[in-house]
Structure 1
Amino acid sequence: MWDWLPTTLQKNPEIALFLTVAIGYPLGTIKFRGFGLGAVTTTLLVGILIGQLDIQISQTVGSVFFLIFLFAIGYGVGPQFVRGVAQDGAPQALFAIIVCALMLGTAYGVARLAGYDVGFGAGLFAGAATASSALGLSTSAIGRLGLSAEETRSMVGAISTAFAMTYIFGTVGPILIISQIGPRLLRIDLPAVCRAYETRMGGTSRSVGTSWHHYIIRTYRLSADAPQVGKTVGEAEAGMQARMFFDRIRRGDQVIDANESTILKADDIVSIAGARGNFKAHFTTGVEEVEDPEMLDMPTEGIDVVVTRRAYDGKTLADLARLDVTHGIFLTRIRRGASGTEIPILPQTQIHRGDVLTVIGRPQKIRTAIKAIGRADFSTKETDISSVFLAIAIGALIGIPMISVDGLPLTLSMAGGVLIAGIIAGWQRSVHPTFGHVPPPVIWFMNAVGLNVFIAVIGISSGPSFVAGVQQVGVSLFLWGMVVTTIPTVAALLLAKYVFRFDDALVLGCCAGACASTPALGMISDQARSQVPALGYTVPYAISNTLLTIGGIIIVLLMK
Structure 2
Amino acid sequence: MSWFTTTLRSYPEIAIFLSLGIGYWIGGKSYRGFTLGAVTATLLAAIAIGQLGITVSANVKSVFFLMFLSAVGYGVGPQFVRGIAKDGLPQALFSVVQCILCLAAPYVAAKLAGYSVGSAAGLFAGSQTISASMGLATDAMNRLWLPADQTKALLDAMPTAYAVTYIFGTIGSALILATLGPKLLGIDLVAACKEYEATLGGAQESGGAAVAWHQYELRAYRIAEHGPAVGLTVAQAEVRSPEGARLFVERIRRSGVLQDAKLDDVLQAGDVVAVAGRREHLVAMLGPRGTEVDDPELLAVPAEGVDVYVTNKEVDGKTLQELAARPLARGVFLRRIKRGATETPIPILPSTRLHRGDTVTIIGRTQDTTAAAKDLGVLDRPTGAADIAFVGFAITLGALIGAVVIKVGAIPITLSTAGGALIAGIVFGWLRAIHPTFGRIPEPTIWFMNSVGLNVFIAVVGITAGPGFVSGLQQLGVSLFLWGIFATSVPLILGMFIAKYIFKFHPAILLGICAGARTTTAALGMICDAAKSQVPGLGYTVTYAGGNTLLTIWGMVIVMLLT
Cα gap change, 1:237/1:159 in structure 2, threshold over 3 Å: closer, same or farther?
A: same
Task: Give runs of aligned pairs for residues 159-308 of structure 1, distance below 5 A.
Answer: 159-205=158-204, 206-241=207-242, 242-279=245-282, 282-283=285-286, 287-298=290-301, 301-308=304-311
Partner in structure 1 of residue 418 of structure 2:
415
Show the counterpart of 2:559.
556
1:449 corresponds to 2:452: yes
1:503-540 per-residue CA deviation (whole Å, 9 max, x = no partner) reads: 11111111111111101111111222211111011111
Secondary structure of the residue aligned to 2:352 is coil
TM-score calculated relative to the size of structure 2 = 0.97
Q: Which aligned segments of 4 or more residues in structure 1 are displaced greater than 6 angstroms? A: none
1:481 aligns with 2:484: yes
Is 2:147 the partner of 1:148?
yes
Residues of 1 paired with 2:484 and 2:303: CA distance? 49
Do residues 402 (structure 1) and 430 (structure 2) align? Answer: no
**Which residue is 1:65 aligned to?**
64
1:254 partner letter: V
Which is further off, 184-193 or 65-74?
184-193
> How far, CA to CA, are the matches of 1:103 and 1:178 in structure 2?
15
Displacement of 1:247: 1.1
Give me the whole-angstrom Cα distance separating, in 2, the residues matched to 1:299 and 1:36: 44
Superimposed CA distance per residue, residues 150-208 of structure 1 (whole angstroms, 9 cap, x where no aligned partner): 11111110111111111111111111001111111112222222122112211233442
Q: Secondary structure at the match of 1:360?
A: strand
**What 5-or-longer segments of structure 1 have no aligned partner?**
none
The yes-or-no answer on 1:19 pairing with 2:18 is yes
Deviates more, 1:291-300 or 1:461-470: 291-300
Looking at structure 1, the residues matched to 481 and 289 of structure 2 have their Cα atoms a distance apart, in angstroms, of 74
| Other-structure match for 1:471 | 474
Task: Report the secondary structure of 2:8's partner residue.
Answer: helix
Report the equivalent of 1:508: 511
> Residue 298 of structure 1: CA displacement?
4.8
In 2, Cα distance between equivalents of 1:251 and 1:292: 13
Give the length in aligned residue pairs.
Answer: 559
Cα distance, 1:404 vs. partner? Answer: 3.0
- Give, in angstroms, the shift of residue 284 of structure 1: 5.9
**In 2: Cα distance, 1:285 partner to 1:123 partner:** 67
Residues 401-458 of structure 1 show CA distances to partners (whole Å, capped at 9, x for unaligned) of: 1123353322100000000111111111111011111001110111111011000000
What secondary structure sits across from 1:204 in the alignment?
A: helix
C-alpha distance in 2 between matches for 1:521 and 1:257: 46
Q: Which residue identity lines up with residue 95 of structure 1 in the other structure?
A: F
* 1:273-303, Cα deviation, whole Å (9 max, x unpaired): 1233433564367631222223334566410
Contact conserved, 2:141 with 2:151, CA < 8 A, in 1? yes
Q: Tell me, in whole angstroms, the C-alpha distance in 1 between the residues paired with 2:189 and 2:139.
A: 43
Which amino acid in 1 is paired with 2:413?
A: L
Q: 1:299 to 1:500 in 2, by over 3 A?
A: farther
Say if 2:123 and 2:484, in contact at 8 Å, map to a contact too: yes
AA partner of residue 134 (structure 2): L
% identical equivalent positions: 54
* Structure 2 stretches lacking a partner, 5+ long: none
TM-score, scaled to structure 1: 0.97
Partner residue of 1:130?
129
Shift of 1:20: 1.1
The separation in 2 between residues aligned to 1:258 and 1:196, in whole angstroms, is 40
The one-letter code sitting in structure 2 at the alignment partner of 1:202 is G
**Deviation at 1:47?**
0.8
Are 2:251 and 2:258, in contact at CA under 8 Å, matched by a contact in 1? yes
